[in-house]
Structure 1
Amino acid sequence: MIEIFTDGASSGNPGPGGYGVVLRAGQHYKELAGGFRKTTNNRMELLAVIVGLEALKNPGQEVIIYSDSKYVVDAVEKKWVFGWLNKGFAGKKNKDLWLRFLQLYKLHKIRFNWIKGHAGHPENERCDRLAVAAYQQKENLLIDSVFEAENGK
């Protein structure tokens, strides 16, 4: 069983943003983070999940993803994203990331577990610190090219 803890953050919405991920499987532990010059909180929440799943080396893993994002958790657990897919994501944001997620989703056995943000959950708090630190670095921030192309610089 692999546990993936995720969080996304942005300063302004849109604004500089980042994601933080903690992966844990038995004795193995890994942290991942990245920052972007202009993005949204929801994009970073979803990207955190994607980056965590992309870090898995073998398909067919049993994965529990812990997220404080109702946007992400409800979209998957309530199966909304599959309806959005069938309708070509008409009127929905973040199509690029949802399509990327769905490619990963079919590779593993994934469950989501929503956790309350900023409520003292150690891994969620760590992910939040990673996400905020990632965009606060101000140097070497990545470009969320799809977001910027769709919304202008």
Structure 2
Amino acid sequence: MIEVYVDGASAGDPGRSGAGVFIKGHGKAEEFSIPLGLMTNHEAEYHAVIKGMEICIQKEYRVVSFRTDSQLVDRAIEKQFVKNNQYSPLLEKILELSKQFDLFFIKWIPSKENNVADQLARNAIHNQS
């Protein structure tokens, strides 16, 4: 099983944003720092999941366990529902991508357990001009 830690961050709300993706599995670790442009922190959290899923699909990882420190995103995916319609297209994209895995699930973790993905997301913000 592949473990995927994701985090989104924004410098402002909205502001320059980034996604951090940290993948552990098959005896190796991979780190991705992805600039996202201008968006809110919540949007960045959703985009971090999407980017992580796209990376896993590209690498043909079929059984994945995602970890996020965003309760908003975790609950939305688990319930397949968002209160704020602004996030509906992002949730739909996640649900569509999840069909490409043999097994996909997401789990909320405390921020202190998501330090690597958090730092990767912050690096992505600082690497934008």
Which TM bucket (shorter chain)?
0.7 to 0.9
Runs of 4+ in 1 over 3 A off after TM superposition: none
Partner of 2:49: 49
Deviation at 1:44, TM superposition (A): 1.1
Structure 2 stretches lacking a partner, 5+ long: none
Q: Which amino acid in 2 is paired with 1:111? A: F
SS, match of residue 64 in structure 1: strand
Q: How big is each residue's C-alpha offset from its partner over 1:90-123, in whole Å with a ceiling of 9 and x where there is no partner?
A: x511333223212211112111111111x2x2xx
Alignment of 1:132 onto 2:122: yes
CA–CA distance in 2 between the matches of 1:42 and 1:93? Answer: 10
Q: Which residue of 2 aligns with 1:6?
A: 6
Find the residue that maps to 1:33 and give its secondary structure: strand
From 104, 107, 124, give the equivalent of 1:110. Answer: 104
- Percent of aligned positions that are identical: 33
TM-score, structure 1 as length reference:
0.74
Counterparts of 1:36 and 1:2, CA distance in 2: 24
CA RMSD, aligned part only? 1.8
Name the structure where strand makes up a greater proportion of residues: 2
Code of the aligned partner of 2:76: A
Please say if residues 77 and 91 of structure 2, whose CA atoms lie closer than 8 Å, have aligned partners that are also in contact. Answer: no
Q: Which has the larger radius of gyration?
A: 1
Alignment of 1:23-38 (within 5 A): 23-38=23-38
